[in-house]
Amino acid sequence: MTDITTVDWWELLPADIRRQVDGYVLQDARLSALRVVFEAGRTHGLGLQICARASQRRSERNPDQTSS
């Protein structure tokens, strides 16, 4: 796609979407998190693979840091 990183793509998503994804991740509902990232990310030109990486990275973070 481009040279932009997954973190940069994450920052492009609206704050309410990021909070919703973090909520799903904290509930261990990773498929729901991916769906939200993909639906919001498509409007920014994100493909499924980038969205999957973004939601996976959120699930790998410490739960104390997930909302940041």
| pLDDT computed for residue 1 by the predictor | 45
The answer for residues whose C-beta is within 8 angstroms of residue 51's C-beta and 6 or more apart is: 34, 37, 38, 41
- 48 assigned to some structural domain: yes
52: tokens are 């999957």
| pLDDT computed for residue 65 by the predictor | 53
Residue pointed to by tokens 């799903």: 24
| pLDDT computed for residue 50 by the predictor | 84
CA 61 – CA 57 distance, rounded (Å): 7
Domain count of the chain? Answer: 1
pTM above 0.75, yes or no: no
- 17 assigned to some structural domain: yes
Structural domain for 49, as ranges: 6-60
- Taking 70 as the pLDDT cut, the residues of the chain under it are 1-7, 62-68
- 67 assigned to some structural domain: no
Element (H, E) at 56: helix 48-60
| pLDDT computed for residue 17 by the predictor | 92
- 66 assigned to some structural domain: no
CA 10 – CA 4 distance, rounded (Å): 10
